[in-house]
Amino acid sequence: MAFEDKQIQCSDCGTTFTFSAADQEFFQSKGYTNEPKRCAACRSARKAERGGGGGGFGGGRPTQMFPAVCAACGQDTQVPFQPRGDKPVYCSDCFRKVGSSR
């Protein structure tokens, strides 16, 4: 199924935001059936109100990021793990592309 970017109005602030084809593909891969109701800024604010969003892995503490070079495009990036050098490391864009091709 080919996805196309969609314009959605945020239920909190009323601004229009783009639900990109890549985001739609990600939602589908995770089994999500509903489209987002809030823009990124309102999602972040709501997450902060609920006490979440502190950094994912650490349960409230910021995630330590490590510098790396993407194995696919050569771009400098940051990853939430210490690269060991025995496996390729990808920037988020290339990781999405590589992950969807498996």
Whether pTM exceeds 0.85: no
Distances in Å between the Cα of 58 and the Cα atoms of 44, 63, 89 are 17, 6, 21
Domain span including residue 27: 1-58
- Do 1 and 34 fall within a single domain? yes
- Do 39 and 76 fall within a single domain? no
What are the tens digits of pLDDT across the range 44-95? 888 888 875 555 555 556 788 899 999 999 999 999 899 998 999 999 899 9
- Do 95 and 76 fall within a single domain? yes
C-alpha atoms less than 13 angstroms from C-alpha of 18 in its C-beta half-sphere: 6
- Do 69 and 51 fall within a single domain? no
- How far apart CA 102 and CA 90 sit, in angstroms, is 15
Q: Would you state the pLDDT for residue 24?
A: 92
